[in-house]
């Protein structure tokens, strides 16, 4: 892997515009110390007797380097060397910077899901203070999207009787900040529901609108979002037979006429599907 994905695009862009230097007083040092706390419990897969650099050192330096714009392993190693005086303020016992091979090897060995969870938890907790420090304006609701996808070309049979297993991935994406909060492999589509509920329950969803498809339109999912202080928009199809019928009964002709009369709680649109135009109606009722 020649490049490393930025953990959050808007913060990176702000740092670039500021000509970011981690030794300036603008850096939220308390937040960076909290990041070390989040990564302390990530399991180190290396043999203890041959470890030269603690895992927290490698992960912290890599995270800080990526925020400053580093995109390759060599860039990260160079950053570690140039900023070692500053890094020593956070990492006890830090002396010689790791090589680019060390960063590549260690980050390739750790559990990506655990690391993603640690980074996500840190960003969720500190996003507001970091944006304030960097003077990034952000008002209103955050939009978070939950969706599972199957990798193209998987789950099919070709010339042999052995098919290619379905490769499913659950994604939770912060649309407002252009950052993936979670991307975790799942065994099958139905496993998406409890996994989505688990991670949503761990998030602070105040001032957030969570969107999801009909598969995740479950009472328990809604409870989790509401309990975390969030709002939600979910799809509803006929395969939720009882729930679908209840909604249809609620939105009778009189109720629909009342909503349309206000001219602000509904909208209509037309989309193209299978080479034909299909009119669609989406009604939002605000009680």
Q: Rounded to a whole number, what is the distance in angstroms from the first to the last CA of the chain?
A: 50
38 vs 187, residue with greater confidence: 38
The CATH code of domain 139-153+164-236 reads: 3.30.420.10
Most confident of 67-71, 179-183, 191-195, 267-271: 191-195
Determine how β-strand 276-283 pairs with β-strand 266-273: antiparallel
pLDDT of residue 7: 36
Region 246-262: mean pLDDT is 84
- pTM of the full predicted structure? 0.54
pLDDT of residue 23: 55
Task: Report the distance separating Cα 141 and Cα 130, nearest Å.
Answer: 17
**Token couple for 170:** 């659950």
* C-beta neighbour count of 153 within 10 angstroms: 9
The kind and range of the H/E element at 168 are strand 168-174
Position 21 scores a pLDDT of: 56
Domain spans, the chain: 9-133, 139-153+164-236, 251-287
């Amino acid at each position: 892997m020649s490049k490393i994905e930025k953990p959050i695009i808007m913060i990176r862009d702000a740092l670039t515009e500021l000509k970011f230097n981690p030794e300036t007083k603008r850096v939220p040092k308390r937040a960076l110390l909290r990041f070390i706390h989040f990564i302390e419990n990530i399991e180190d897969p290396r043999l203890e007797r041959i470890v030269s650099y603690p895992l927290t050192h490698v992960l912290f330096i890599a995270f800080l380097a990526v925020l400053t714009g580093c995109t390759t392993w060599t860039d990260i190693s160079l950053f570690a060397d140039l900023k070692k005086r500053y890094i020593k303020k956070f990492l006890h016992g830090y002396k010689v910077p790791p090589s680019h091979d060390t960063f590549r090897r260690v980050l390739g060995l750790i559990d990506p899901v655990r690391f993603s969870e640690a980074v996500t938890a840190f960003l969720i907790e500190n996003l507001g203070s970091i944006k304030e420090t960097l003077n990034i304006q952000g008002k209103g609701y955050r939009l978070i999207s939950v969706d599972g996808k199957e990798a193209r070309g998987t789950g099919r049979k070709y010339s042999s009787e052995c098919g290619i297993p379905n490769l499913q991935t659950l994604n939770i994406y912060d649309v407002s900040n252009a950052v993936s909060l979670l991307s975790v492999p799942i065994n099958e589509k139905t496993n998406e529901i409890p996994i989505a509920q688990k991670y949503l329950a761990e998030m602070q969803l105040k001032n957030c609108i969570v969107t999801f498809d009909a598969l995740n339109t479950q009472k328990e999912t809604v409870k989790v979002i509401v309990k975390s202080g969030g709002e939600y928009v979910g799809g509803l199809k006929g395969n939720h037979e009882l729930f679908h019928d209840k909604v249809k009964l609620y939105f009778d002709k009189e109720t629909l006429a009342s909503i349309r009369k206000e001219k602000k709680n509904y909208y209509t649109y037309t989309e193209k599907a299978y080479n034909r135009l299909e009119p669609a109606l989406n009604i939002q009722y605000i009680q």
